[in-house]
């Protein structure tokens, strides 16, 4: 009898996992792919067919990519593997600048917002290095007014200027390069990205929200004369020669936001989540990997060189991302065009660098370019390191659609490449669980 029951359970598990695998493939193959153009897909050998994914072997996240040593416990991994993983990722994204030699925060504006629910602050961060140059960028933050103790917060860069995240007339337009040229068009962006930044909902849930415009830190353009104007020019080449890699410099600015949080007693600096969408999701992951002050890390549709496994030839690849966005990375990345299997590390190891702190990976069902399955795979492959730290409630490849809220988190949202209110609801849930709120 017991044998029959066991056999039945085994068969059900098998069919269940087969069923989910099939639906995963079917979801992706039943659609037509309109992006990018056919010519581009040919030139960069972009694959969108699940059956055409070539077999690959992922590097073991417990193994030191330089010496080949494999750790056997968490302490061993922290001592003997983690530093070499950090070094390998710094080679790909380029090292981040050192801490600023001097820094000050000036409150540009402060007032009541969201019908009295929040305090708004606009803080200019002034940065100095070893040269005479001083640079700056502006943080916009909303803090719940009902708070009786320091609050947890979400830090999320924005794509179109601070004024784009909320229709709030007090938000100052950024004094920097922008893809949007005319002042009228810039002003017209006020509040236009509010659906991706549901600040009132965030504040109602007891969290502060902090943002800055990524292009004020490093202009998001391939134009060298413009992006050389990024904030890292405060350093001489002797001190910091790697001034041309956007993601590492955006990431460095996120760490400066953490420096600011540490100065503001209204904010709980032990409960800060760094979050980002798409290119900013890649940046959030790198930041969480390198700056352990961030207690929680969230990637929204970060795709290639974010949460997606590079060795899995599906969607955007290194050839394509380097053709469009070489300025996001170090020059070293050129070596991996059509040679992802030669990369010393893959993206599950970036996620593993966040362990034991919680990481959350969001994917969008129709976002083939970002490879939803490859992103879940990276999260699942990072389990090895989370397990080393004793985590038990970890995701598996068999739950692509169900939101997963364990030691790490995951969901796939129906629809396209976007950061949506629905995503925020899951992120807030996950953050509340890990920050032990209510």
Size of the site for ligand GTR (CB under 6 A): 7
CB of 419 to ligand GTR, least distance (A): 10
Under DSSP, the state recorded for 160 is S
CB of 89 to ligand GTR, least distance (A): 17
**Binding of residue 318 to ligand GTR (CB under 6 A):** no
- Residue 245 CB coordination number (10 Å): 27
Q: Which stretch binds ligand GTR (CB under 6 A): 63-71, 195-203, 291-299, 316-324?
A: 316-324
Look at residue 68 and give its three-state secondary structure: coil
307: nearest Cα among 334, 327, 289: 289
Cβ–Cβ < 8 Å for 364, 418: yes
**Binding of residue 354 to ligand GTR (CB under 6 A):** no
d(C-alpha 338, C-alpha 323), whole Å? 12
CB of 20 to ligand GTR, least distance (A): 27
CA distances from 416 to 3, 329, 419 (A): 46, 26, 9
316, 340, 371, 423: which one binds ligand GTR (CB under 6 A): 316
Please give the residues from 267 up to 286 whose contact with ligand GTR meets the rule CB under 6 A: 278-279
Nearer to ligand GTR, 33 or 126 (CB): 33
**Binding of residue 310 to ligand GTR (CB under 6 A):** no
Whether 44 sits among the annotated catalytic residues: the reply is no
d(C-alpha 427, C-alpha 156), whole Å? 12
Whether 136 sits among the annotated catalytic residues: the reply is no
Cβ–Cβ < 8 Å for 208, 142: yes
CA distances from 78 to 3, 284, 345 (A): 44, 21, 17
Nearer to ligand GTR, 125 or 309 (CB): 309
CB of 281 to ligand GTR, least distance (A): 8
The arrangement of strands across the sheet holding 151-156 comes to 102-113, 118-128, 134-144, 208-211, 151-156, 267-277, 296-300, 359-364, 409-413, 404-405
CB of 316 to ligand GTR, least distance (A): 5
Catalytic choice (278, 299, 302, 320): 278
**Binding of residue 380 to ligand GTR (CB under 6 A):** no
Nearer to ligand GTR, 141 or 305 (CB): 305
Nearer to ligand GTR, 203 or 304 (CB): 304
127, 247, 297, 321: which one binds ligand GTR (CB under 6 A): 321
In this structure, the strands spanning 151-156 and 134-144 are unpaired
Residue ranges that bind ligand GTR, judged by CB under 6 A: 278-279, 303-304, 316, 321, 324
Just list the catalytic residues: 278, 417
């Amino acid at each position: 009898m017991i044998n029959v029951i066991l056999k039945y359970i085994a068969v059900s598990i098998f069919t269940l996992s087969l069923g989910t695998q099939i639906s995963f493939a079917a979801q992706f193959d039943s659609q037509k792919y309109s992006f990018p153009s056919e010519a581009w897909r040919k030139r960069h050998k972009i694959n969108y067919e699940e059956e055409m994914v070539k077999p690959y072997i992922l590097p073991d996240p417990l193994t030191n990519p330089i010496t080949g040593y494999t750790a056997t416990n968490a302490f061993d991994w922290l001592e003997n593997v983690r530093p070499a993983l950090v070094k390998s990722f710094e080679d790909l994204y380029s090292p981040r600048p050192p801490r600023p030699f001097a820094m000050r925060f000036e409150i540009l504006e402060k007032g009541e917002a969201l019908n009295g629910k929040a305090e708004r602050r606009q803080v200019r961060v002034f940065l100095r290095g070893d040269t005479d140059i001083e640079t700056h960028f502006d943080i916009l933050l909303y803090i719940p007014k009902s708070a009786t103790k320091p609050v947890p917060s979400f830090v999320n860069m924005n794509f179109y200027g601070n004024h784009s995240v909320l229709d709030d007339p007090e938000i100052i337009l950024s004094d920097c390069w922008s893809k949007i040229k005319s002042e009228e068009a810039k002003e017209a962006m006020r509040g236009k990205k509010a659906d991706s930044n549901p600040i009132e909902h965030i504040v109602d849930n007891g969290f502060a929200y902090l943002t800055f415009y990524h292009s004020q830190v490093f202009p998001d353009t391939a134009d060298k004369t413009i992006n050389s104007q990024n904030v890292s020019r405060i350093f001489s080449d002797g001190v910091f020669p790697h001034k041309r890699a956007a993601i590492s410099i955006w990431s460095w600015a996120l760490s400066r936001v953490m420096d600011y949080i540490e100065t503001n007693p209204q904010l709980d600096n032990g409960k800060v989540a760094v979050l980002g969408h798409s290119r900013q999701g890649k940046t959030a992951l790198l930041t969480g990997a390198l700056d352990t002050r961030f207690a929680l890390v969230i990637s929204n549709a970060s795709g290639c060189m974010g949460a997606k496994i590079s060795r899995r030839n599906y969607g955007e690849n290194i050839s394509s991302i380097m053709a469009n966005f070489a300025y996001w990375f170090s020059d070293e990345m050129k070596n991996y065009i059509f040679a992802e299997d030669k990369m010393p590390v893959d993206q599950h190891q970036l996620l593993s660098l966040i362990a034991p702190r919680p990481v959350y990976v969001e994917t969008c069902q129709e976002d083939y370019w970002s490879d939803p399955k490859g992103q879940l795979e990276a999260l699942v492959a990072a389990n090895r390191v989370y397990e080393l730290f004793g985590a038990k409630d970890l995701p598996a490849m068999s739950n692509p659609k169900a939101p997963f809220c364990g030691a790490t988190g995951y969901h796939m949202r129906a629809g396209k490449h976007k950061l949506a209110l629905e995503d925020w609801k899951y992120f807030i849930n996950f953050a509340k669980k890990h920050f032990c709120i209510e």
